[in-house]
Amino acid sequence: GQQVMQIPQYQHVQEGEDFTTYCNSSTTLSNIQWYKQRPGGHPVFLIQLVKSGEVKKQKRLTFQFGEAKKNSSLHITATQTTDVGTYFCAGPGGAQKLVFGQGTRLTINP
């Protein structure tokens, strides 16, 4: 079935450094979504990408959808302590379900 692979599993950075997480699918995706889960919290929707090659920005966060619609990335510029958490990508899993990647846990040294 549908699988969404995400790397790295963990990333530790110094505050102010950049951070990137990558998501790859075994099949072409109609769209991809990104969620953030703060420690002790629940996943919160960040953004959805639909078009091939699409790039969207939210302040210091840049989201990309690959040309083949099989991969995506989230890049954070100049991380801040508020960026701490686990970032999940998710693709459609049929019947309005989502298939989540394994997540990338970001920790930051202030």
- Residues interacting with other proteins, by CB under 8 A? 30-31, 33, 41-45, 48, 50, 88, 92-93, 95-98, 100-103, 105
Please say which residue, 82 or 96, places its beta carbon nearer to other proteins: 96
38-64 b/e (C-beta count within 10 Å ≥ 16 → b): eeeeebeebeebeeeebebeeeebbbb
Least Å distance, CB 16 to other proteins, is: 26
Please say which residue, 44 or 68, places its beta carbon nearer to other proteins: 44
Q: Which of 18, 15, 37 is nearest to 76 (CA)?
A: 18
Do the beta carbons of residue 38 and residue 30 sit within 8 Å?
A: no
For the record, the structure tokens of 5 come out as 């692979």
Please say which residue, 4 or 108, places its beta carbon nearer to other proteins: 4
Least Å distance, CB 57 to other proteins, is: 18
Please say which residue, 9 or 81, places its beta carbon nearer to other proteins: 9
